[in-house]
Structure 1
Amino acid sequence: MKQQLFKCLPVALAALFIGGAAQAQAPVTPPASTSFSTWSIGVNAGVLSPISPLGGKNDFSNWKSGLGYGIYVKKQLTPYFSLRLDGIRGKLKGDNSEPFESGSTVAGGAGAFETDLSYAGSLNAQVNLFNISMFRKQDNVQLYASAGAGLAGYKPKVGSTDANLANYTADDKTISELIIPVGLGAKFKISDKVNFDLGWSIYFVDGDNLDGTYRNNNSDKFNYAHAGLEFALGKGKQLAFHNPVAATYDEALQAKQLASSLKSDLDAQKAENAKLRTEMSDLLKDTDGDGVADKLDKCPGTPSGVVVDGAGCPLKVPAPVVNEKVIITESDRRIVADAIKNLEFDLGKSTIRPKSFPTLDRVANLLVTKNFSLKLAGHTDNTGSADLNMRLSKDRAESIKTYLVDKGVNASRVEATGYGKNQPIATNKTAAGRQKNRRVEFTLY
């Protein structure tokens, strides 16, 4: 039996660690904003009995209950799986005060024993059962099963009665044997850091000398029923009581609510865009086609082809014909560059912000004093539809022209054109690139 257990123990330990590694590599990942407590320690006390209800014959007819106590350290790898290092101590007792069912007696005349269990240390895999509830992210009651392997050290004493017990070994040496514990338990959460633990484990011993007596050619067993407290270490809630199924359900509800909110925002933005298009159409409407918007035109209905001033009224004196060669200096270019640099519009509109007026005034003065002509080219990024971008780029160029004409610039010398998103100067994949593409170019000639 001992040789068979030696052969099976490496396999059991390997399965234990491989199972733990597999669970650790593929855990149910909690939300990034949530931290969990995964380490805990526990203390317990209970009853030790030299008997097992899972089969096998006892070496003594009457088993007695003795005090046992223990401590453990646990690492929770997932909400369902943990590794636990257990240690227990206590005493095991029994005698032959009751007859065996078969009527047989104990070989060697021993009628009683008492074993001092110096230690029983084991590494156990614990699996939480029934930890799934669709609507509760934290359970308060938990069932579990465990199994593992370890080593026990004990000193039996035997005698004809309880009163004349003697050491089983001549030198009172501690006997060490391999043990295989299996168990069940229930855990009740008292608070975020404290649990009440009820458990029952059966320890299979690789030897028949736990009670100092050989009988039935059968390995000994004992069981430990206990109650105790478990204390979670670290910050956060206990991972063992976390329910990832319910947490995932909550995340799905939040995603649905977010989608509904985004749809409402999109509908509101569409309504705002429609309103802007209506306002822009009214602002830039030029019924008589003289280049001056109706809202600024003081002489509506001007015949086609008539040269008008900035107010939309026909010029009384024909504009002088300039025959001299146009010379554009670096100073002139700086004035235009400053105007481009400081040009700002309201978001999604063609309304010029007051910040841009001083530099546009200098451009207007330059056009009036030097009789230059100016081409305005409006451009946008690729956000929105092509039609909307084309209208917005045209409207912004026209808005600048209207401002310059209102400052006395000859409307015939200012050309306003919109190109929409068709002539980007940078990539539209980044915010910086899109910012560069939203522009109005000034060209003196």
Structure 2
Amino acid sequence: MNYSTLKKGLAVSFVAAIGVTTLASAQTDSTATSSSAKTFGGRGQFRTWSVGVNGGVLSPFLAIGGSNDFSNEDVNLGYGVFVKKQLGNAFGIQANLFRGKVSGTNKDEPNGTQFGTTSFKTSIGYAADISGVVNVATVDFLRRANSVNFFITAGYGLVAYAPKVTYADGSVVDWKGHAGDDRNNKYVKEAYIPVGAGVKFKVSDRVAFNLGYTMHFIDSDNFDGVYAKGTTKDKFSYGYAGLEFSLGSKNKPDLEWVNPLAIMYDELKDPSLRQEVEALKTRVTNVEKSVEDLKKDSDGDGVSDQFDKCPGTPAGTAVDGSGCPLPVPVAAAPVSNLTGFETIQFEFNSSVLKTDSYPTLDKLSSVLRENGGKALVKGYASSEGTAAYNLKLSKDRANSVKTYLVNSGVNASQVTTKGFGEANPIASNDTEEGRIQNRRVETSRN
């Protein structure tokens, strides 16, 4: 094959690919829409599998230089396939398989020979490796969608090859079918380490055009059939172009081409999220206002204005939990027989007092402080959970009421608590409405 013609053909292909991908990039930028993917939503939101084919030039020389058993390279074609799993925006695992031939000569050496050889041609039966692929500079601060990705690769593999060497005297030794210790294997098999780099152009939502260069470092000195330098290892390179096809649902974006910044921007600008934030701000404002209202006590009777049913009581007047003056002492005797204060309700699986129970508890506290006597606090629970757990929960609820009364000035000895668990329901536990009523504390005075 004419080397100059090959180079021109590759150059033309490269320029054409750049033109196509530039147009695709412009279309991608102008028609980009918000992605349905969410930050930290997992790989399931994306397409992560792809397959590809490639072809290119195999050479016994490396771009980084180094020693070689032959002074001149020949140009040979190689071809391969691969499967890739994208694990993240910037990293994937790729399985590669390729074949081809690598050859070289000593035509520029004196007498056209070196180490007693004039040329070699090595057939690669297969070269298979697993490599990590790292995308470089995948986060784009200027555009929503990337159309060009640079990548580097490194991995570990196994190559099966058969060298054919021509010596200075014209004799030819072909290792194919004569490899191995018993000289009866078709190929020599050695481990190798592939290290490479390349650039990838997004042609469409499903197709990418790849250009790459990989150096293969073989763990032996017989790839070219010459044991010339005992401590050196042979190597070869593969410059290629190819196509990659993304697999999976068309409704999902390709993880490799996703810009994480665009996802975060779309999520922060989501109208429903902004509505939730605004609603939360309103709720916080209302809570803050309620707290301030709870603190305000204009007449100084110990009952906040929000619950004070008798505002403006004179200073020093004894009031009940509603802020109204207590009955005169002559009415105390009947009061001592009061029973049946309102029921205190609780949230599911909670023993925390709700604010709407404070007026009832303040009233009971006022009666106990002014008239003495004792109160019985009975806690109950709905039927969710185990009986043992519900018994403990009912006791906790009763104790929450006692704690409130004691903190308001009632002597602890005046309050007796008891938990009944799921017993004595006042409504059916088969409905949520009934269970809500059963999550309660009943207080009575005797």
TM-score with structure 1 setting the length: 0.53
Question: Is 1:200 matched with 2:200?
Answer: no
CA distance in 2, matches of 1:209, 1:32: 47
CA distance in 2, matches of 1:55, 1:73: 30
Which runs of structure 2 are paired with 1:181-192 in the superposition (5 Å)?
A: 181-192=194-205
CA distance in 2, matches of 1:170, 1:49: 20
- 1:213 positional shift: 3.7
Equivalent in the alignment of 1:124 = 131
Give the alignment partner of residue 240 of structure 2, picking from 214, 221, 226: 226
Equivalent in the alignment of 1:343 = none
- 1:238 positional shift: 3.1
User: Given the superposition, is the C-alpha separation of residues 177 and 385 from structure 1 closer, same or farther in structure 2, using an over 3 Å criterion?
Assistant: closer
User: Given the superposition, is the C-alpha separation of residues 385 and 33 from structure 1 closer, same or farther in structure 2, using an over 3 Å criterion?
Assistant: farther
Unaligned runs of 5+ in 2: 1-37, 179-185, 294-303, 312-327, 329-336, 364-376, 382-392, 398-431
What amino acid is aligned across from residue 285 of structure 2 in structure 1? D
Give the alignment partner of residue 46 of structure 2, picking from 20, 24, 36: 36
User: Given the superposition, is the C-alpha separation of residues 136 and 30 from structure 1 closer, same or farther in structure 2, using an over 3 Å criterion?
Assistant: farther
CA distance in 2, matches of 1:374, 1:108: 117
Equivalent in the alignment of 1:78 = 88
- 1:193 positional shift: 3.5
Instruction: Write the deviation string for residues 206-240 of structure 1: whole angstroms up to 9, x where unpaired.
Output: 33333334445543221111111222333433333
Give the alignment partner of residue 98 of structure 2, picking from 85, 88, 105: 88
- 1:438 positional shift: 6.6
For residue 256 of structure 2, give the secondary structure of its aligned residue in structure 1: helix
What amino acid is aligned across from residue 219 of structure 1 in structure 2? K
Which runs of structure 2 are paired with 1:4-403 in the superposition (5 Å)?
A: 30-31=40-41, 35-97=45-107, 99-100=108-109, 105-107=112-114, 110-133=117-140, 139-159=146-166, 166-169=172-175, 171=177, 173-217=186-230, 218-235=232-249, 236-244=252-260, 247=263, 258-267=276-285, 377-381=341-345, 388-391=356-359
What amino acid is aligned across from residue 263 of structure 1 in structure 2? K
Instruction: Write the deviation string for residues 375-426 of structure 1: whole angstroms up to 9, x where unpaired.
Output: 763234368997753448999xxxxxxxxxxxxxxxxxxxxxxxxxx87544
- 1:260 positional shift: 3.8
- 1:131 positional shift: 2.4
- 1:202 positional shift: 0.6
Instruction: Write the deviation string for residues 106-156 of structure 1: whole angstroms up to 9, x where unpaired.
Output: 246543333222211112222222223468786443222111222212233
User: Given the superposition, is the C-alpha separation of residues 388 and 121 from structure 1 closer, same or farther in structure 2, using an over 3 Å criterion?
Assistant: closer
What is the root-mean-square deviation of aligned Cα atoms in Å? Answer: 5.6
Query: Rg bigger for which structure?
Result: 1
CA distance in 2, matches of 1:234, 1:170: 42
The answer to whether the 8 A contact 2:148-2:199 is kept is: yes
TM-score with structure 2 setting the length: 0.53
Instruction: Write the deviation string for residues 340-395 of structure 1: whole angstroms up to 9, x where unpaired.
Output: xxxxxxxxxxxxxxxxxxxxxxxxxxxxxxxxx99763234368997753448999
The answer to whether the 8 A contact 2:58-2:76 is kept is: yes
CA distance in 1, matches of 2:265, 2:288: 32
User: Given the superposition, is the C-alpha separation of residues 213 and 106 from structure 1 closer, same or farther in structure 2, using an over 3 Å criterion?
Assistant: farther
Instruction: Write the deviation string for residues 170-203 of structure 1: whole angstroms up to 9, x where unpaired.
Output: 8564232222211112223334443322211011
User: Given the superposition, is the C-alpha separation of residues 436 and 183 from structure 1 closer, same or farther in structure 2, using an over 3 Å criterion?
Assistant: same
CA distance in 2, matches of 1:244, 1:380: 51
Instruction: Write the deviation string for residues 256-303 of structure 1: whole angstroms up to 9, x where unpaired.
Output: 8744430123435788998xx999999x99xxxxxxxxxxxxxxxxxx
Equivalent in the alignment of 1:314 = none
CA distance in 2, matches of 1:386, 1:39: 54
For residue 267 of structure 1, give the secondary structure of its aligned residue in structure 2: helix
CA distance in 1, matches of 2:176, 2:280: 83
- 1:70 positional shift: 0.5
CA distance in 1, matches of 2:151, 2:79: 20
Q: Tell me whether 198-207 or 148-157 shows the greater mean CA deviation.
A: 148-157
CA distance in 2, matches of 1:153, 1:33: 36
User: Given the superposition, is the C-alpha separation of residues 34 and 211 from structure 1 closer, same or farther in structure 2, using an over 3 Å criterion?
Assistant: closer
User: Given the superposition, is the C-alpha separation of residues 391 and 183 from structure 1 closer, same or farther in structure 2, using an over 3 Å criterion?
Assistant: same
CA distance in 2, matches of 1:34, 1:123: 23
What amino acid is aligned across from residue 235 of structure 2 in structure 1? K
The answer to whether the 8 A contact 2:106-2:114 is kept is: no
Aligned length in residues: 316
For residue 66 of structure 2, give the secondary structure of its aligned residue in structure 1: coil
Identity across aligned pairs (percent)?
Answer: 34
CA distance in 2, matches of 1:268, 1:394: 24
For residue 59 of structure 1, give the secondary structure of its aligned residue in structure 2: coil
For residue 209 of structure 1, give the secondary structure of its aligned residue in structure 2: coil
What amino acid is aligned across from residue 156 of structure 1 in structure 2? P
Instruction: Write the deviation string for residues 24-46 of structure 1: whole angstroms up to 9, x where unpaired.
Output: xxxx9831695233332221111
